[in-house]
Amino acid sequence: MTLLAIAVSPLLCTLGLVQVLGIMAAAAARLTEGTRYERGGQWLCLVSLVVVGGLCGWSLQFGPGSSAACAVTLTLMTLIAIIDFR
């Protein structure tokens, strides 16, 4: 039985890590709502939205799959930040 080695690009791993951090920043903005850390959470979310938005344009050179994943992450981040659960 042979094991198949799948080579994953470190660049694509970094792309995925930035997306996960963006989702976490959007969640942090929601969790800090109404606390003294609210402004910091909002700034963190804003900066991460800019970074992931720029990453969407930059990842176009890697094909439609990677740019679509960035676009979905950007959409989820926006929804997490603005959705009202009340």
- pLDDT per residue as tens digits for the range 65-84: 888 989 999 999 999 988 87
What total number of domains does the chain contain? Answer: 1
- For the cut 60, the answer to whether the pLDDT of residue 52 exceeds it is yes
Contact 5, 21 (CB under 8 A): no
Tell me how far CA of residue 18 lies from CA of 11, 35, 37, 80, in angstroms: 11, 26, 22, 16
**CA-closest candidate to residue 26, choices 42, 40, 37:** 42
Kindly give, in sequence order, each residue whose CB lies less than 8 Å from that of residue 84, ignoring residues fewer than 6 positions away.
Answer: none
In a domain, 9, yes or no: no
How confident is residue 35, by pLDDT bands cut at 50, 70 and 90?
A: very high
* pLDDT at residue 83, rounded to an integer: 86
Give the structural domain span for 48.
Answer: 14-82
In a domain, 1, yes or no: no
In a domain, 77, yes or no: yes
